Structure 1
Amino acid sequence: MAGPRAEQEPAATGGWAPTRALGRAVLVTGLLLVAAVVLGRIDLIVLAAPFALGTAYALRRRPAAPPEVWVAADEGHLIEGGELTGSVTIGNPDTVDYEVAVVRTRVSPWLRIDRVGFAGGAAAGGRAVADRPFVTSVPATSAVDLELTGTALRWGRHPVGPAGARVAVAGGLLVSRAVITEPVRVRVYPKTEPFEAVEAMPRAAGLVGAHHSRRPGEGGELAGVRIFAPGDRLRRIDWRVSLRARQLHVAATLSDRDAEVVVLLDVLAEAGRSGGVSGAASVLDTTVRAAAAIAEHYLHRGDRVSLLEYGPTARRLRPATGRRQYLTVLEWLLDVHVEPSRHEPYDLVFGPQLLSADALVVVLTPLLDERSAQMLARLARSGRFVVAVDTLPADLTAPKDRGWAEVAYRLWRLDRDTMIAQLREHGVPVVGWAGAGSLDQVLRDVARLATAPRVGGR
C-alpha cells in the first residue's frame, strides 16, 4: 500500500538511572575494600579490583541524551480488509551504542497485526504479536524500525500506539527511563458494497445531469417532432419530416437533469455486535457501509449528494458532486457514532430551508426508536420523496437470559412489524438493505407516485 505516512513526533523524555547490577557492583567493591582495611588483608583488595575496574571501564562512556521513539503508519486509501503497514522507530541520537533496546506498542483491536519484525531481521507472527516486547540493539547516531504488517478489520479511526521503549547501556549498568510516544490514528474507510439503482429519480431538480425529466429542453431523450419555431437550433431540424410535410419540423427532446440525494443516518440506537469486515455487521456497520455505497453510486452518476445525522449533534454535509465530494463523504462517515438522546431532534436536523423539496431522502434506520418512525411519517406528510432502508441485522437473535426475555423479544418484533406496516400505509416504502438492487423496486414506486396526477380537494 503506497501513500503518505502519518508520523508522530519523536518522544524523548526522562533520563538515565542506575540498575541493580551497578548497585551490586558498587556494594561488593565497597565491602571488600572495607574488609581489606579492617582486617589488613591485601588479597581482598585484589578481589575488589576486577569489580572496580570493570565498573569504571563500563561507565567510561555514558550517554547524555535519552532515546527517541515515534510511530508511523501509511495513510493511503485504506479500506476494510486492506493491508496495513506501519512502524515503530527507536532512535539513538547519542554517540554511545544502545546494547539492548526493548520496544513495545499497542494497536487497536480492529487492526490485526499478523507480522512484526525489525527491518532486515526475522519477523514474528501469531496472535497479539504487537502487544509483545521486542528486543534489539541500536548503533550510535542511527535508528531501527519495528515493522508492523497486518489487516484492517473495520472502518473508523484506529490508533497505532502508544509505543514505549527502554534502553540499557554500559554493560547493563545504566537504563533509560520509559520513553512513551502518542499514538497515530489510521483512517480505515468503509468497504463499499455492490449497489446499483437503475430506476429514474422521482423528480430531477438541477439544470443538467444524467436523469431524464418531463420538461422539454436540451437532452438525449426524444419527446416528439413539432413545427419549427423561432429560437430552435438548426441541427434539431428533422429533414425527413420537413420534406414530407413541406414545412420545417424539429425534433423535441426532454432535458437531462441532475438530482439531489439526501442520505439520512439514524444514530439514535445501536444493535448487534460488529465482527469486522468478514464477520457479523451491527446496525452502525450496515448504516455506514450502505451510506458509502449509495453516495458512491449517485455521485458517479453526476448527482448532488448530502449527508445528515438524525441525532443530538445533527451533523450535516452540504450537497456537492464529483470525486472530491465522495472523498469528503468517506471522511465524514469515519466520525459517525451512536449517540442516544432524550429529546426529539427533528427540528434540530430539519431546520428551515435545509432540505430541498425535490430531494430524494434515503433514510438509513434500524427503527428501534419510535421517534425514527415519527420522523419518517412527518417527512412523508411534508411531501418529500422518502425511502426507508432497514439496517437492523436479519440474524439478530433473542437474548438468552432467563425469564421472559425471549417472550419480550417476540412481542417487540411484532410491535416493530406493525410499525413498519403503518409506515407503508402512510406512503413510506421500507426495504431492507441487500446490496445491489436494494432500492430499485422502491425507487420505481416512488417515481410512479411522483409522476401521477395529484387530486386537489375542493
Structure 2
Amino acid sequence: MTGPTVPTATEAEPAAGWAPTPALGRAVLLAGLLLVAGVLLGRVDLIVLATPFALGTAYALRKRPTALPQVWIAQGDGGPLVEGGDVTAAVSVGNPDTVDYDLVVMRSRVSPWLRIDRAGFTRDEAVDVPPSATAETGATAAANGRGRSVADRPFVTSVPIGAAVDLELAGKALRWGRHPIGPAGARVATAGGLLVSRAVITEPVLVRVYPRTEPFEAVEAMPRAAGLVGAHHSRRPGEGGELAGVRIFAPGDRLRRIDWRVSLRARQLHVAATLSDRDAEVVVLLDVLAEAGRSGGVAGAASVLDTTVRATAAIAEHYLHRGDRVSLLEYGPAARRLRPAAGRRQYLTVLEWLLDVRVHASAHEPYDQVFGPQLLSSDALVVVLTPLLDERSAQMLARLARGGRFVVAVDTLPTDLASPKDRGWAEVAYRLWRLDRDIMIGQLREHGVPVVRWAGAGSLDQVLRDVARLATAPRVGGR
C-alpha cells in the first residue's frame, strides 16, 4: 500500500467528542441507588454490593481519552488500473491516544463500479499517527446498491495504543472512470465500553480506472501526411524508404543512392529516387450530445459512452505507436480539447483526458464553439465517434466534409439496442426513427462522409483506403 494521506482536522479540546454510553449511566445509577439504600436502611450488605460497581467504574475511568481516532483511505500501489484489473485499497484507523480502543466499528462506501470481493484486517504496531490528523466531513459518494460488494457492511475490531488497523479491500474494477472509495467512518468505544467517540469521517479517495483498449489495426494509407518524419509514405520526393523510381544523377544527390546496375547499363550515373516518410495528424472527435444503452461494465453491454471512450483509446494508441500526432475534441457545450502531440506521454495524457468524458445535453449548436479558427489542420484525418442520435451531429459531419476535411464517421450506437415493448405507438415510432436514421446515414455518404460501425480490429481499414484514394485522385478545376 502507498503511504496514507491523513486528512487534516480541526483542533479539539481534550476529551472533546467523547460521550458516556448507557452502560456508564446504568453503572452509576445502580451503585448510587445501592449506596443510598444501604445508608438509609442501615444495611451493610447493600453497601458491600454497591462497592464492586463503584470501584469497577472508577477503575475503568482512571484514564480518559484525550483525542479522537484517525481514519484515512489509501489506494494500492499496483500501477495503472485498467478495466477488469484488480483494485486494492485500505481503510485505516489509528489510535494516537494513551488508552486502548476496546471496540472500533468501521464502515466505508464503495463505488458500484468497484466490486469488492475480499475484505480483512491487518494490524500495524507502533504506528505514529499525529493527533492533528483527524477529519470530519459531510461528503457523500455513490452507495453500493448492487449487493455484490462485501464492503457494504460494518466491520468490528480493536486498536491498541499507538497502533493502526487496516481494513484491506480487494476486488475488480468493472468500468473506466474515476470511482470513489469512501467516505469512510469509524466510531470507537473505550474505558470498558463506558465512553464512545463521535463518528469520525474521512473524505473519499478517487480511483482512476483507465479504459481497456481493444486490439486495433489500420492500414498505413493516410489522406495527407503533414510533417517530415513518420511512418506514412507521401507523394512528395525526399528521404525515405519507399522507392519512387530511378533517375539521372543530379548535383546534391548522395553517393549511396547510386544505382550501379542501371548506371553501367546506361553508361550514365543514375540514382534511386524515394518518397519521403511523413507523419500524419489524427483528430478524434467525440460526440457527447447524447447517450444510449446501459453500461454493464467491462464484461457486460456497452453504452454509447463506453464504446466512444474505448474506441478513442484504441485509435489513439495505434496512431501514437506509429509516431503520428493525435488530438482529441469534444463535440458538446464543454468543447474540451487536447492539443496534438506524439509519443507515449501523449498516450498517457489521452487516457487521463478520457476519464472526464461525460454526456452534456444542450439545446444550442456547439459547432462554432468547438471548431475555432485554424483549430483543425487541412491535412488532418478527422475520426468522429458519434451515435448519430442528434441532427446537429449529422450537420456537423456535412459541414466538415464541405470544408474539404477528410472525415470518417464511426457509428457508436449499440447494435443490441432493444425496441420499446410498450403498447400503443411506441414500437412504430421506434421503427420510424430507425428508418429516419438510416436515411440520415445515406445522406452523409452522399456528401462524401463514410460511416462505419465500430467493430474493433479492422473497423477502419476499407474506409481509410477509400479516403486515401479520394485524396490522391486528381481534382477537376473550373475556369
Same fold (TM over 0.5): yes
1:118 corresponding residue in structure 2: 121
Say which SS state the counterpart of residue 217 (structure 1) adopts: strand
User: Is the 1:8–1:184 contact (alpha carbons within 8 Å) kept by the matching residues of 2?
Assistant: no
CA distance in 2, matches of 1:455, 1:147: 69
CA distance 1:31–1:6, change in 2 (3 Å): closer
Aligned to 2:32: 30
The DSSP-based 3-state class of the residue aligned with 1:36 is: helix
Cα offsets for 1:294-318 (capped at 9, x unmatched): 0000000000000000000100000
User: Which of 203, 206, 212 is equivalent to 1:185?
Assistant: 206
Return the letter of the residue paired with 2:442: A
Cα distance in 1, alignment partners of residues 4 and 165 from structure 2: 18
Residues 23, 4 of structure 1: alpha-carbon distance in 2 compared, 3 angstrom cutoff: closer
Q: 2:318 aligns with which of 297, 306, 311?
A: 297
Cα separation, partners in 2 of 1:71 and 1:213, compared to 1, 3 Å: same
Q: Is the 8 A contact 1:11 1:69 kept in 2?
A: no
Q: Distance in 1 between matches of 2:322 and 2:380?
A: 15
Q: Secondary structure at the match of 2:413?
A: coil
In the alignment, the residues of structure 2 paired with residue 136 and residue 319 of structure 1 have an alpha-carbon distance, to the nearest angstrom, of 52
Cα distance, 1:243 vs structure 2: 1.4
The residue aligned with 1:17 is 19
Which one of 120, 134, 154 corresponds to residue 133 of structure 1?
A: 154
1:256–1:197 Cα change, 3 Å: same
Aligned pair count? 452
Map residues 268-287 of structure 1 onto 2, 5 A cutoff. 268-287=289-308
Do the aligned partners of 2:2 and 2:74 also contact (CA within 8 Å) in 1? no
- Please tell me the residue identity of whatever aligns with 1:241: V
Letter in 2 for 1:20: P
Provide the C-alpha distance between the structure 2 equivalents of 1:236 and 1:311, rounded to a whole number of angstroms. Answer: 52
2:83 is aligned with 1:80: yes
- Structure-2 separation of matches of 1:8 and 1:435: 43
Deviates more, 1:59-68 or 1:303-312: 59-68
1-structure distance, mates of 2:424, 2:396: 34
2:383 partner letter: V
Q: CA deviation at 1:8?
A: 4.9
Give the match for residue 135 of structure 2.
none
**2:93 counterpart of 1:107:** no
CA distance in 2, matches of 1:8, 1:24: 37
Q: Distance in 2 between matches of 1:271 and 1:9?
A: 39
Pick from 53, 62, 78: which aligns with 1:51? 53
- C-alpha distance 418-404 of structure 1, shift in aligned 2 (>3 A): same
**C-alpha distance in 1 between matches for 2:91 and 2:2:** 16
Is 1:368 the counterpart of 2:389? The answer is yes
What's the CA shift string for 1:44-86, capped at 9, x where partnerless? 2112111101100111122111100000112521000000010
Asked if the contact 1:81/1:152 (under 8 Å) is kept, the reply is: yes
The unaligned stretches of length 5 or more in structure 1 are: none
Residue matched to 2:430: 409
Pick which of 329-338 and 195-204 moved more.
195-204
Q: Summarize the alignment of residues 408-447 of structure 1 with structure 2, pairs less than 5 Å apart.
A: 408-447=429-468
138 and 6 in structure 1: CA distance in 2 versus 1, 3 angstrom threshold = closer
Matched, 1:210 2:269: no
1:120 deviation in Å?
A: 6.7
Counterpart-to-counterpart distance in 2, 1:64 and 1:196 = 64
The 8 Å contact of residues 8 and 182 in structure 1, kept in 2 or not, is answered as no
Residue equivalent to 1:195: 216
* Aligned partner letter, 2:87: L
1:23 aligns to what SS in structure 2?
helix
Report matched runs for 1:295-374 at 5 Å. 295-374=316-395
Distance 1:174 1:347 in 2: 64
Q: Is the 8 A contact 2:4 2:72 kept in 1?
A: no
Structure 1 Cα separation of the partners of residues 104 and 421 of structure 2: 49
Match of 2:93 in 1: 90
* Superposition deviation, residue 95 in structure 1: 2.0
| Among candidates 201, 214, 219, match of residue 240 of structure 2 | 219
| Aligned-pair CA distance for 1:34 | 2.0
Summarize the alignment of residues 387-402 of structure 1 with structure 2, pairs less than 5 Å apart. Answer: 387-402=408-423
Q: More displaced, 38-47 or 156-165?
A: 38-47
CA distance in 2, matches of 1:356, 1:127: 49
1:453 Cα deviation after fit: 0.5
Q: In 2 relative to 1, CA 90–387 (structure 1 residues): closer, same or farther, beyond 3 Å?
A: same
Q: 2:68 aligns with which of 66, 69, 81?
A: 66
Residue pair 1:287, 1:365 contacting (<8 A) in 2 also: yes
Q: Secondary structure at the match of 2:72?
A: strand
The alpha carbon displacement at 1:150 in A equals 0.3
Residue 133 of structure 2 is matched in structure 1 by none
1:347 to partner: Cα distance: 0.4
In the TM superposition, what is the alpha-carbon distance from 1:409 to its structure 2 partner? 0.6
Q: State the Cα deviation string for residues 2-27 of structure 1 (Å, max 9, x = none).
A: x8567352668762110000011111
**One-letter amino acid of the structure 1 residue matched with residue 84 of structure 2:** G
Deviation at 1:282, TM superposition (A): 0.2
Is the 8 Å Cα contact of residues 268 and 311 (structure 1) preserved in structure 2? yes
Aligned-partner residue type, residue 69 of structure 1: V
Residue segments in structure 2 that go unaligned for 5+ positions in a row: 125-146
Look up the equivalent residue of 1:47 and give its one-letter code: L
Closer, same or farther: CA 292–119 of 1 in aligned 2, 3 Å? same
Shift of 1:127: 3.2
Distance 1:248 1:33 in 2: 123
Q: Which residue of 1 aligns with 2:273?
A: 252
Of the three residues 193, 198, 213, the one matched with 1:172 is 193
* C-alpha contact 1:11 1:179 (8 A) present in aligned 2: no
Give the Cα–Cα distance (whole angstroms) in 1 for the partners of residues 148 and 404 of structure 2.
55
Corresponding residue SS for 2:82: coil
| Distance apart, 1:261 and its partner CA | 0.1
Instruction: Report the CA distance shift for 1:293/1:6 in structure 2 as closer, same or farther (over 3 A).
Output: farther
Question: After superposition, what is the alpha-carbon deviation per residue over 1:186-225, rounded to whole angstroms, capped at 9, x for unaligned?
Answer: 0000000111002411111111100000000000000011
